[in-house]
Structure 1
Amino acid sequence: MFPTAAGRRLLLLIRRTATAGTNPILLLHHHHHQNSMLLSNLYSSTSLARTPELKSAAAAAYVVASCGLPPAAAAGISRNARFRSTADAESVVSLLRGYGFSDANITQMFPKFPYLLTMNPDKTLRPKLEFFASLGIPANVLSRSAILSRSLEKHIVPCIEFLRGVVGTDGNIRKAISRNPWALCIDIDNNMHTAMEALRSHGLDDAQIVRLVVLNISVLAMPPDRINGVFEDLKALELPTMHPRFPYGFLRLSRLKRGAWKERMSLYLNFGISKNELVKAFRVQPGILAVTKKTIQQKLCFFQDKMNVLPADVLTRPVLLTFSMEKNILPKCAVLSVLLGEGKIERDERNINLINSLRRTNNNFYDSFVSRYEKDVPDVVKAYKGEIKFTGFMD
């Protein structure tokens, strides 16, 4: 397909301004009404004539027009990816679209990995895309890492074969990679092998390692001393390796600096929560020691001061400490407050029934307290939308 007359005029404009030393991006802004007509016409087999190297401004203008990137991002790409012709870059974009990459995926990738535009689309890029497609790994996962820049024969295939030997199935590989696509860039010899040795040295069997790696594939990038430190911390928190929540505890602590959980533990203890209560809650919901100190302080004060609930009672329902205040807790509290005021629901002496209601999923809560009462108490809809603010459960 040949570009339209308008498309040829824009391509000619890019070529002429590059030769004259004028910044084509500025001219593209000046001719913005033409750009909007041309975006869909630039993905053609006809492109600029090959030159020893496209000038930076001309390359940036091409990226603006063809990929829809902002001028600043396009200028950065043109500086870091010196492609000799727009033909290859155009083919790369077309190939990616053919493998399911959306505009958002492409816009996300190129500023971070501009050299993708310089790849040979058929010899280099297509075999990688076909390989990942055979594994069922979607485009939106691949767009989040630099794995397409790695060698297929020397790195990608050996890495997948190693992972298959660890987690067993391609389904598990997809789950693990979807959670952290960057893990595919981990060095096999210097990281993956040593990490596996460290995990086995702590007595984990194959099934436990599968659960841990599928949930937290980044463990394979951790040095042995860091892995050993997490095991020591989990032992101090009385979470044994055979416990069903062990992989989640490992995930949470591995994302903190060594010993950071102790500071968070001290904060809980300052609210009158005992160590035994905290350790028990951690086994149920390891995330309570991964949230920030500010979040812990904010939520415990909220439950204590606005809901009249003891911190120790909150810890018996530790999932509440992982919920978003703005998106989850406050809208639910506002609804419950309206219903209390209208006499539709009651509360017990310690408000246990109210915090139990907060534990419900959003859909379940909406069905039980919004849909059920909206005809008799229309304000519950406003409360759930945030139009009625929660100020506390008053006596």
Structure 2
Amino acid sequence: MLEFVSRNITCSVRTSMIDKVCIFENISLSSSSIRHISSNSTNTTNHQAFTVSYLINSCGLSPKSALAASKDVQFDAQHKPDVVLGFLKNRGFSKAQIFNIVKGYPGVLLTNPDKTLLPKLEFLQSKGVSSPDIAKIISSHPWTLQRRHCFVPIFYFFKNLLQSDDTTIKVFKRYPGLLGLDLEIVTSMLDILRDTGVPESNLPMLARCYPLTMMLTVEKFKKHVEELRAMDFDTSTSRFILAMNVLCLTSRVKWERKLDAYRDWGLSHEEILAAFRKYPYFMTASEYKIMKVMCLFVNKLGWEPSFIAKHPSLMLYSVEKTLIPRASVLEFLVSRGLIEKSFRSYEFFQSPENKFLQNVISSCAYSTELLQLYREKQNLSRCKGI
């Protein structure tokens, strides 16, 4: 019995000793891991500190911008970033342009400029883009440099649509961000338009005049197409392309506010959509502009709100330079009994300046007085700097 107890006690002691050894081994391993992690953390901190210092001293970034950039790119030596900065400087990029590039795409400092940057610049140059224009294009949208491929595929995609190198170059100068488009995504967008009934002849209009539409996601692009179809837009007309651009550039919040602004003046939802279908720019006017135009025609002239809906292009004329001066002429003519108060004419406001002066003012018996009034109203807008 005593022997059994003794063996159990011995076994328990041995087991306890083994457990303690295991515990101490685990503690030792954990300490090693901690030292390793601590070392990595220190290295990371050192790299980030060096990066921040370099971005501030060599690239001109503010401490805040440098710290933010260091989260995306880090280095512990200046050789590689120095090579990139030297490359850009030798290619004609100014300090301000290099600053914009590094701030917008700090990862450029870790690239091999001869392999990743040079092919892009040389391609643009081969298409007739001058060095100063290349610098402007790249520095205004540095994120396009992240694309692994050169600009060749997207350039030729647009050229096939526009049938001209010169026109394609003009588009890229106006919208440099297009160089970073994903060719597969853009192709999908055009296929959506074709499937919707947009004729092939109208597609170049999208690329030439409204290319920002092509910078949306496919899902959002498709959603806008469906929205326009729900509004009974004729997909075969160029107005459909124009309306796509208006929708793409107008947030949902602003769109709803503009609808409310027109409704506040008595226009029905259908009248607003009819005006939009007729002249898509109708929905680009700001809420303030809507108020000013409607106030002039409805409150001052006493015309029906529906007149604006039937002639939506009036919403884009300058209130101060065109609409108010001509409204003053109209009020003068009505006050002299030369025009009936019930007079309603779209042409009165939209006719070119020379024709308005000849047909309305010069032909009037009060031409001198009328011209003085007209010029005073126009000069008033110039004095206000409008």
TM interval, shorter chain, is 0.5 to 0.7
User: 1:134 — aligned with what?
Assistant: 126
Q: Which residue of 142, 150, 157 corresponds with 2:152?
A: 157
Of 237, 241, 259, the residue aligned with 1:247 is: 241
Distance 1:55 1:244 in 2: 51
Deviation at 1:248, TM superposition (A): 0.2
The CA distance in 2 between the partners of 1:192 and 1:210, in whole Å, is 13
Q: Which residue among 140, 143, 160 is the counterpart of 1:144?
A: 140
Deviations 1:46-67 (A, max 9, x none): xxxxx99955335412333xxx
Corresponding residue number in structure 2 for 1:272: 266
In structure 1, list runs of 5 or more residues that go unmatched: 1-50, 390-395
Cα separation, 2, equivalents of 1:62 and 1:322: 48
Following the alignment from structure 2 to structure 1, what is the Cα–Cα distance between the partners of residues 241 and 279?
12
Is the aligned partner of 1:211 residue 2:205? yes
Aligned: 1:196 with 2:190 = yes
Match of 1:61 in 2: 57
Query: Deviation at 1:133?
Result: 2.7
Equivalent residues in 2 for 1:66-215, closer than 5 Å: 73=65, 82=74, 84-85=78-79, 87-96=82-91, 98=92, 105-136=97-128, 138-139=133-134, 140-145=136-141, 146-153=143-150, 156-189=151-184, 191-215=185-209
Cα separation, partners in 2 of 1:287 and 1:106, compared to 1, 3 Å: farther
Q: Deviations over 1:280-320 (max 9, x none)?
A: 53234202234455653454235433554443233344233
CA distance in 1 between partners of 2:51 and 2:137 (Å):
32
TM-score between the two structures when normalised by the length of structure 1? 0.60
Q: Does the 8 Å CA contact 2:311/2:346 hold for their aligned counterparts?
A: no
Q: Residues 116 and 351 of structure 1: is their aligned pair in 2 closer, same or farther, counting only changes over 3 Å?
A: farther
CA contact (8 A) 1:195 1:222 kept: no
Kept in 2: contact 1:80–1:114 (CA 8 A): yes
**Are the structure 2 counterparts of residues 167 and 62 from structure 1 closer, same or farther at C-alpha, using a change threshold of 3 Å?**
same
- The 3 A distance-change label for structure 1 pair 259 and 194 is farther
Distance 1:342 1:231, change over 3 A: closer
Instruction: Determine the C-alpha separation between the residues in 1 that align with 2:252 and 2:384.
Output: 42
Instruction: Please tell me the residue identity of whatever aligns with 2:124.
Output: F
The residue type equivalent to 2:168 in the other structure is I
Report SS of the residue matched to 1:63.
coil
Q: How many Å apart are 1:201 and its aligned residue? A: 1.6
Q: Deviations over 1:176-230 (max 9, x none)?
A: 43454333323233x2333233222223332222222333334445555544443
Q: One-letter code of the match for 2:164?
A: T
1:319 paired with 2:316, answer no
3-state secondary structure, aligned to 1:213? helix
Q: Name the count of aligned residue pairs.
A: 319
Instruction: Measure the CA separation in 1 of the matches of 2:332 and 2:213.
Output: 52
Instruction: Indicate the residue corresponding to 1:234 in structure 2.
Output: 228
The alpha-carbon deviation at position 237 of structure 1 amounts to 3.1
CA pair 277-171 structure 1, distance change in 2 beyond 3 A: farther
Determine the structure 2 residue equivalent to 1:385.
382
Q: Which moved more, 1:212-221 or 1:69-78?
A: 69-78
Helix, strand or coil at the partner of 2:58: helix
Q: Provide, for residues 209-266 of structure 1, a one-character-per-residue CA deviation record: whole Å limited to 9, x for no partner.
A: 2222333334445555544443333234333122232210121123446798677456
**Aligned partners of 1:177 and 1:217 also within 8 Å:** no
In 2: Cα distance, 1:263 partner to 1:305 partner:
21
Aligned mates of 1:336, 1:74 — CA distance in 2: 55
TM-score under structure 2 length normalisation: 0.61
Equivalent residue letter for 2:107 = Y
What percentage of residue pairs aligned between the two structures are identical? 21
Opposite residue 240 of structure 2, the aligned amino acid is: F
The gaps in structure 2 that reach 5 residues or longer are 1-46, 362-367
Residue identity opposite 1:159 in structure 2: I
Q: State how far apart, in whole Å, the 1-side matches of 2:372 and 2:296 are.
A: 29
Match of 1:13 in 2: none
Specify which structure has the higher proportion of helix: 2
Q: Which amino acid aligns with 2:121?
A: L
1:5-24 alignment, distance < 5 Å: none
Per-residue CA deviations over 1:41-86 (Å, capped at 9, x if unaligned) read xxxxxxxxxx99955335412333xxxx667556655775556146
Separation in structure 1 between the aligned mates of residue 89 and residue 55 of structure 2, nearest angstrom: 17
